Amino acid sequence: MSINSSVNSDFMVIIMKLFLLKIPRNHSTMNISKSGYRVFSANSTTACTELAKKITERLGVDLGKSVVYQESNRETRVDVKESVRGQDIFIIQTIPRDVNTAIMELLVMAYALKTNCAKNIIGVIPYFPYSKQCKMRKRGSIVCKLLASMLAKAGLTHIITMDLHQKEIQGFFSFPVDNLRASPFLLQYIQEEIPDYRNAIIVAKSPSAAKRAQSYAERLRLGLAVMHGEAQCSESDMADGRHSPPPMSSGRTTSGHPGLELPLMMAKEKPPITVVGDVGGRIAIIVDDIIDDVEDFVAAAEILKERGAYKIYIMATHGLLSAEAPRLIEESAIDEVVVTNTVPHEVQKLQCPKIKTVDVSMILAEAIRRIHNGESMAYLFRNITVDD
């Protein structure tokens, strides 16, 4: 009896193993990426998903299955079509002209992934919106800090971005921020695509852009010129006071405490525009982080032409190119505007052939790979200094 019982027991174990092998796997288990992470695009427009497709091609993974759309009343809806439980999720969000819709798409998708038990949610936001609103202006608000708080509340645990307008913006976040640089790609473009670049001079269109221009000049071993005067409008020159105390009604004193005499700040008066540096007979390369309304760049190009520059290039990381920018560039003395693909601008390129694009998907894909694998990010910041 004991022998038969042992044989029957072994036979039942074999049968159970065979039975378990034939059980179909859970659908969510089948969808889990072998690499342990997923890459989603949070944008509802086709033009804005191009960068996400390039990044996933470089990573060798498929773009995550999701649907992002607006209801008839313009509410944003996100449907994630596969399991994300326990995985690292990267959300790529490029910012089109409709900035506020893009922000809501990102927030709603992050929250959807959070409620579906994603392990980590990393936002890949090459151009961080509202980055110019990072300082207090009169009785306004620091909107960039508000956006950072909203992203954290929605569930993001990390952000990858590129060339923040002010590096101090990283301090607004309660989680890690990797602020990548586009300058290596733009420097490579200068060396490979601008004939006789050794005869060029790097130009800062305002004193506030001098550090960035100096970094380019030192790396290319070129000269530096800085423009200063009434044509430039630096953010640091904007009114920063709260006009306190407020104006008093008639019959009431407008002075402060009786007997208190505060020294009056003298109003600024900008001198006529000047160019510090010799641009005569040179190729002028103006560098900046954002090119949006191009009036300042067009005015700077006219001045540089008057000073003897025979070719003028504009190099910027984020090509927002709003409003009439393509037409103004086409009609100006600017020879070429070079921007990266952090922001979609295919329509503007059709309107103005002077606009050229540099692809930065390589560094974004490498950042995603390193973060998921827990590798150091130092390689992506090699030779980067505080002023870059």
Q: What is the pLDDT along the chain (388 residues), one digit of tens a residue?
A: 455 555 456 655 555 554 444 444 443 333 344 458 999 999 878 878 999 999 999 999 999 999 999 999 999 999 999 999 999 999 999 988 889 999 999 999 999 999 999 999 999 999 999 999 998 888 889 999 999 999 999 999 999 999 999 999 999 999 999 999 999 999 999 999 999 999 999 999 989 899 999 999 999 999 999 998 765 444 554 555 455 555 555 555 455 566 677 788 787 777 778 899 999 999 999 999 999 989 999 999 999 999 999 999 999 999 999 889 999 999 999 999 999 999 999 999 999 999 999 999 999 999 999 999 999 999 999 888 877 7
Q: What is the pTM of this model?
A: 0.83
* Residue matched to tokens 């790609």: 185
The pLDDT of residue 23 is 40
CA dihedral (290, 291, 292, 295) positive or negative: positive
pLDDT at 247: 54
Q: In terms of Cα–Cα distance, which of 50, 106, 47, 31 is closest to 76?
A: 106
d(CA 182, CA 216): 12
Token pair in block for residue 78:
């996100």
Rounded Cα–Cα distance for residues 316 and 358 (Å): 10
Q: What is the pLDDT of residue 33?
A: 46
Closest CA relative to residue 185, chosen from 22, 374, 342: 342
- Distance, in Å, from the CA atom of 367 to the CA atom of 371, rounded to the nearest integer, reads 6
Q: What angle do CA 91, 97, 100 make, to 5 degrees?
A: 60
Alpha carbons within 13 angstroms on the beta-carbon side of residue 38 total 25
Q: What is the DSSP letter of 267?
A: P
pLDDT at position 29:
36
Query: How far is Cα of residue 329 from the mean position of the Cα atoms in its chain?
Result: 23
Nearest-5° Cα angle at 321, 316 to 323 = 160
- 234: its two tokens: 């630096």
- Give the pLDDT score at 96: 84
**How many other C-beta atoms can be found within 10 angstroms of the C-beta atom of residue 286?**
25
Determine the Cα–Cα distance for residues 97 and 79; give it in Å rounded to an integer.
23
Q: What pLDDT sits at residue 175? A: 95
